[in-house]
Structure 1
Amino acid sequence: MTAEPVALDALGPSGPYRSRKRLTIPDVAGAATAELSLVPALFVGRAMVALRKARPLPQEERLAALSRAGRIFREQEVGGLSYEEYERTVSRICGVPLPAVRSAADEIADSAERVLTPSYNARPTGAVSDWRDPLTRNGRAVWTRRGEVLAVNAAGNHPAPHALWLEALALGYRVAVRPSRREPFTPHRLVLALRAAGFGDDQVVLLPTDHSVADEVMAGADLSISYGGDDVVRKYAADTTVLAQGPGRSKILVTADADWREHLDTIADSVGHHGGVKCVNTTAVFVEGDPAPLAEALAERLAALPSLPPEDEKAVLPVQPAETARNLERYLLAQAAGTTAHLGGDGVVDELPDGSAVLRPAVHELAGTEGGRHRVELPFPCVWVVPWRPEDGIEPLRETLVLGVITGDEEGHADLIDALVEDPTICNVHLGDHPTHWMDRSVPHDGYLGEFLMRTKTVIRG
């Protein structure tokens, strides 16, 4: 950690801007870590106009610049912080375990260096990327942007989502990022690295604002990505220009013909990986048969995880200010009333000497899905274990970012798997011994981002 608060300037189309209005960013113990410049609506408006006027770099140049940015992000001092100082600082302010921050930061750097594949995997096989392609002489679909400017209302629970919007730069968008107050260090470092790599100040900007100005960023863009809870999803449900990224509610189904003991490592890892703070962490496990033995074994496994400060090399659980942790604990206990608590029934807060608190795992067994408690998603390893019967069908498993299916006979459950794969509210299906947090940049996370950013149009010439 740095001794003095770091100055995190806004990064506008004319360079860094240090405003009079600044927000102190504390770490999990309340120590001032950064002073974040907040920009007014006028600044935002001018920045968005500048992005719209700018022309994108040619494709080869922007892909090369993105690759350079990944190396700068990972290897050089950026914004006065080395890579190691950056990782440690992020861990301290958002409470994500240091190993998880390191993994996410490496994911961002790797994504920048290898952005071509995920960006263009969404392109239809019958389309070309440029009207100059010889195939357009006989008529061809051309893959083209739906707009020119993308706004990102960023998440603050984890650094990893910042790997996604790099694809928009690869596709020629100009990007405005409104950082989360909880974790502005990652987008600040990334925008500086992109600029150092060759993107102009009018190609990618960082616009920290207070809540009264936040909508101005999205209003000035053609398309937007917004992260948040169910309220964000509801707000933009009918808006085709906004990609709302809400709770994941990832789940695992264990059928009766599978021996869950052989998959306990995968189930526990799905719940607790990266501190359980990501949308791909499992929040509910459905069991065909008696769920109690699995819940008991899962609780025993998760109870062994240590309570450590987030910047510790061996940290595995998230840390929050003690008051925040107590509020989450009270909410959990209220939601869990009447359930069978295998872990966390007396609370999940383990206070540390510096005034922060570790959020320890919770495992609760439900009698069924009545009341919807299995849908409660919290930012630490918290899992609901629920009985499932074939006659329940797929209804309890719907509205899921990742659904793991552990079965001893995939062919025997082909009809069930068909229904799960075809269901539009289930984004990804992992069959067998694959954790719900498994990801690869070459395959979609919540669909390919290119499906949202791009469209096809016919061009015939010559």
Structure 2
Amino acid sequence: MRPEPVQLDALGPRGEFRARDRRAVTDVTGRVAAELSLVPPPFVSRALSALRRAQPAPPDERARRIAAAADLFATGTVAGLGASAYRLLVSRVGGVPITEVESAVRRIADRLRALPAALANARPGAAVTDWRDPAVRAGRAAHTRRGEVFAVHAAGNHPGTHSLWPEALALGYRVAIRPSRREPFTPHRLVTALRATGFGNDEVVLLPTDHTGADAVLRGADLGLVYGGDDVVRKYGADPTVLLQGPGRSKILLTADVDWREHLDTLVDSVAGRGGTGCVNTTGVLVEGDPTPLCEALAERLSALPSLPPDHPEAVLPVQPAAGARAIAAYVERRAAGTRPWLGAETVADELGDGSAVLRPALHQLARADAPQLGAELPFPCVWVAPWSQADGIAPLRDTLVLTALTRQEPLLDRLLAEPTVANLYIGDHPTHWMGPGLPHDGYLSDFLMRTKSVVRD
């Protein structure tokens, strides 16, 4: 007997709200796993007004609540779901390998517990957070919010994205989350845990809604965070009140003074590690010289990864409904026209016979460093390998969230560190999905949320 679908209520300023308009959330086989309540724009407006009226607790109390919520989120029973049941739902619905879900949950909890130190890292060294600080008598910079209400259009490709927005709560913002219908379990669980550990219903809300309501969420906030692809970048790119988390287009550069064979494990891990679905997974590899031997070795390693259901303990690749996987494979075939396929579109959608399909790695060799495919990012391990020469310069490496540079050429590294469109530079044998505690992802979120102002007192 199949279990009843989980009811995911909206979490408004008056508590849980089960709407008449509920949408089915299906797992990768098409089975209904949950029903998500959708709220209309008037509900959104009332919720955001309540957030604006609320007053934040003192900073130390906010940090205590978030740390307690981290423990509850990772190990407790929240909204009737135990930790194991929650992780299984995320894996079965989002298609993320279960071991990666487990790892992501640990990373989220660790990051939330470490928020005070992370915020201190991001704050200007001379800035204070309270006008009562004795240093203010001589005049100091104060770190203050740019607004009061922060809205998030959440991503659904990986639970780890939800480790970022709680920073806004820690800074005293009141926060509204519009969850992705693809994976609403993580934000629902996290918001519920935060409320259980002391945050008021009028301090953090979960507002599942349609596209009209989604626009209302952003309009009613002072600042917003939006995840999405190029279409989202086009829609919100000119809005200074919206911080975009678009495609990462993360890359690896291998120059001729480095032997790629010594770094093959890191190359494979960068492409396919953590399920291969993230903006920090490698989508482009540029090789000084002939990339053919590297392509051959990468193809051999990537083709050996198993095709398994997402909740299998040895699963490492993402899974999607079969129809969606076939559509992605068809897109890869069109986008790869004119390239040399090592792992081509015909092997991408590996159907498991239950209505789902594993998204197997794709690998294509490009003829030149400025080939348009180098910017194509897809939600599975899909990598484009191109030749690179000194004459190409750093132009092919621009617009990159993470660049791992396997090179000993210090002048080149100087240029890459100075390049504004390279968000993060990893020098040497570090996978592009590496993240260190307290370090920025795409800059610090507080760079966007906060400002400094001069303060002096008698």
TM norm. shorter chain > 0.5: yes
CA distance in 2, matches of 1:126, 1:366: 49
Matching of residues 220-231 of structure 1 within 5 Å: 220-231=220-231
Q: Which amino acid aligns with 1:452?
A: F
Change in CA separation of 1:111 and 1:2 when aligned onto 2, cut-off 3 Å: farther
Q: Which amino acid aligns with 1:448?
A: Y
Matching of residues 93-108 of structure 1 within 5 Å: 93-108=93-108
Matching of residues 254-333 of structure 1 within 5 Å: 254-333=254-333
Q: Which residue of 1 aligns with 2:425?
A: 429
Q: Which amino acid aligns with 1:9?
A: D
TM-score of the aligned structures, taking structure 2 as reference length: 0.99
Q: Pairwise CA RMSD of aligned residues?
A: 1.1
Change in CA separation of 1:2 and 1:72 when aligned onto 2, cut-off 3 Å: farther
CA distance in 2, matches of 1:441, 1:14: 35
Deviation at 1:260, TM superposition (A): 0.3
Deviation at 1:2, TM superposition (A): 7.0
CA distance in 2, matches of 1:100, 1:241: 33
TM-score of the aligned structures, taking structure 1 as reference length: 0.98
Quick check: 1:3 aligned with 2:3? yes
Q: Which residue of 1 aligns with 2:413?
A: 417
Q: Percent identity?
A: 62
CA distance in 2, matches of 1:284, 1:450: 29
Secondary structure of the corresponding residue to residue 457 of structure 2: coil
Q: Which runs of 5+ in 1 are unaligned?
A: none
CA distance in 2, matches of 1:137, 1:378: 54
Q: Which amino acid aligns with 1:454?
A: M
CA distance in 2, matches of 1:260, 1:343: 20
Q: Which amino acid aligns with 1:215?
A: D
Q: Which residue of 1 aligns with 2:452?
A: 456
Q: Which amino acid aligns with 1:274?
A: R
Name the count of aligned residue pairs: 458
Secondary structure of the corresponding residue to residue 273 of structure 1: helix
Deviation at 1:371, TM superposition (A): 4.5
CA distance in 2, matches of 1:218, 1:291: 45
CA distance in 1, matches of 2:195, 2:452: 30
Aligned 8 A contact 2:57 2:172 in 1: yes
Quick check: 1:52 aligned with 2:52? yes
CA distance in 2, matches of 1:397, 1:106: 32
CA distance in 2, matches of 1:302, 1:394: 28
CA distance in 1, matches of 2:20, 2:119: 38
CA distance in 1, matches of 2:174, 2:422: 31
Aligned 8 A contact 2:232 2:246 in 1: yes
Q: Which amino acid aligns with 1:185?
A: F
Moved more, 347-356 or 64-73: 347-356
Matching of residues 106-125 of structure 1 within 5 Å: 106-125=106-125
Secondary structure of the corresponding residue to residue 263 of structure 1: helix
Q: Which amino acid aligns with 1:211?
A: H
CA distance in 1, matches of 2:147, 2:383: 40
Quick check: 1:441 aligned with 2:437? yes
Deviation at 1:234, TM superposition (A): 2.2
Deviation at 1:345, TM superposition (A): 4.8
CA distance in 2, matches of 1:238, 1:378: 24
1:55-79 per-position Cα deviation (integer Å, ceiling 9, x unaligned): 0011111100001000111121111
CA distance in 2, matches of 1:112, 1:395: 37
Deviation at 1:419, TM superposition (A): 1.0
Deviation at 1:369, TM superposition (A): 3.6
1:370-408 per-position Cα deviation (integer Å, ceiling 9, x unaligned): 44111111111110010000111000000000000012x
CA distance in 1, matches of 2:75, 2:284: 39
CA distance in 2, matches of 1:356, 1:243: 34
CA distance in 2, matches of 1:117, 1:91: 31
